[in-house]
Amino acid sequence: MQIYKVGGAVRDRLLGKPVTDIDWVVVGATTEDMLALGYRPVGADFPVFLHPKSGEEYALARTERKSGRGYGGFTFHASPEVTLEEDLIRRDLTINAMAEDDQQNLTDPYHGQRDLEDRILRHVSPAFAEDPLRVLRVARFAARYADLGFTVAPQTLELMRQLSESGELQALTAERSWKEISRALMEDQPQVFIQVLRDCGALKVLMPEVDALFGVPQPEVHHPEIDTGIHTLSVLEQSALHKQPLTVRWACLLHDLGKGLTPTEEWPRHIAHEHTGLKLIKAVNERFKAPKDCQELALLVGKYHTHGHRALELKASTLLELLQSFDVYRRPQRFEEFIVACEMDARGRKGLEQRSYPQADYLRGAAKAAREVAVQPLLEKGFKGPELGEALKRERLKALKAYKETASI
């Protein structure tokens, strides 16, 4: 029996990156051998075991063969005869197909170390094209290592293009797709993930609503970058630069989908794109079964981001409606995420990345003014039920009118 550290742990050590998760492969062992040593079995499809002390995962070396559609369409074979090289060849990228023994001696049959040095994301074998999930994984790695100068090898991009055209991407489950998408959006350069998906034709299949934004012009006076798709990538980039959470990044990606529906004869204006985009945002949310908080914020940002940009011009009554829509009294964090999403939208414009966004503090002040209206005095006056709600609304409107006067001085 021989045990090797494999995959990401080897890759990241060689890159000088922090090693978080460690995967182990066991060569020359049987399930009975592992059980005898106290390992606990956890794998449903193939033999994976938890170490009796560390709890880390140890998998028996295995081969795989395509047997159906999608990510799960494989049969696996694990036995003591499977070599380390045979186990490594089934992996996606050469930089993920290296192994180390306990003395850090490197096994690198597919030249992963060379590709690390050359900053290339390259498939290990033609079997890469059998697994549609790898399209998303490679795009995610491109986003993760973009700051180091990594690019996708042309031959690998071509295999990704073939996968995108084959119909295999539709076989991916919403859960598997969302896991890759959400992880990619949290990388330092998530816009690279979207760009790589577009480069190989996968974006058109997975998110046609986002793909449709490329080539759609906007008024140059407001958007020097003009192209709506480029703007969306820039907004996503800003959300990462400012370390925003997943909810905000997801909303940034989807906020302008309505512009893809604007008739060409109306370009570059996009009247009411906020409302026309809601059905598209809802469709993307449901397609990937995004978490509820991501879904809600994306819809709210899509509907109200123009209100955010025009905050200083809004009437007190419109401000109140906006605050009520976000339920700022019980869910203040959601309104804060809306504010920063609007700010990322404003910064995601060519040459305007550093421009101040006074609307942010103005909206925070408005929310504070409305929240500070006390309920107790109204209860003491005898208001209750629907009448209390209306009285509270009137008092909050007064507070916002007063706020507007002081904030504009």
Domain boundaries, the chain: 1-118
Helices 228-241, 332-347: axis angle to 10 degrees equals 120
- Report the pLDDT value the prediction gives residue 66, as an integer from 0 to 100: 58
**Whole-prediction pTM value?**
0.93
Distance CA 11, CA 17 (A): 9
- Is the Cβ–Cβ distance between 58 and 73 less than 8 Å? no
Whole-number pLDDT of residue 68: 53
Find how far residue 138's CA is from the centre of its chain: 14
Per-residue tokens: 245: 């959470």
Q: How far is CA 400 from the centre of its chain?
A: 36
Residues with Cβ within 8 Å of residue 189, at least 6 apart in sequence: 143, 144, 146, 147, 237, 240
Helical segments of 111-173, H only: 112-118, 133-144, 154-166
- Given this model, what pLDDT does residue 168 score? 92
Helix/strand/coil for 103: coil
Confidence of residue 91 (pLDDT cuts 50, 70, 90): very high
Query: How does strand 99-100 pair with strand 151-152?
Result: unpaired
Burial 111-146 (b: 16+ CB within 10 A, else e): bbbebbeeebbbbbeebbbbbbbbbbbbbbbbbbbb
Q: How far is CA 368 from the centre of its chain?
A: 31
| Average pLDDT for 238-260 | 98
Confirm if 3 and 58 have CB atoms less than 8 A apart: yes
pLDDT class of 69 with cuts at 50, 70, 90: low
Strands 120-121 and 151-152: parallel
Torsion of CA 149, 155, 159, 161, to 10 degrees: 70
Q: Which tens digits make up the pLDDT trace of 333-390?
A: 999 999 999 999 999 999 999 999 999 999 999 999 999 999 989 988 888 889 998 9
- pLDDT (mean) for 46-70: 82
Please compute the mean of the pLDDT values over residues 57-69 and round it to a whole number. Answer: 77
* Residue 76 binned pLDDT confidence (cut-offs 50, 70, 90): confident
Average model confidence (pLDDT) across the chain: 94
Query: Can you tell me whether residue 9 is helix, strand or coil?
Result: helix
Specify the pLDDT at position 380: 86
CB 136 within 8 A of CB 184: yes
| Structure-block tokens of residue 315 | 């009437």
Average pLDDT over residues 39-53: 86
What is the side-by-side order of every strand in the sheet holding 57-60?
40-41, 48-50, 57-60, 23-27, 2-6, 99-100, 106-107
Q: Treating both helix axes as pointing N-terminal to C-terminal, what angle do 385-407 and 359-371 enclose, rounded to 10 degrees?
A: 140
Whether 145 and 124 have beta carbons less than 8 Å apart is answered as no
User: Which fold, 1-118?
Assistant: Beta Polymerase; domain 2 (3.30.460)
Say yes or no to pLDDT of 67 above 80. Answer: no
Question: Which two tokens mark 344?
Answer: 């990322």
Q: What percent of the chain has pLDDT over 90?
A: 88
Q: Is the pLDDT reported for residue 70 higher than 70?
A: no
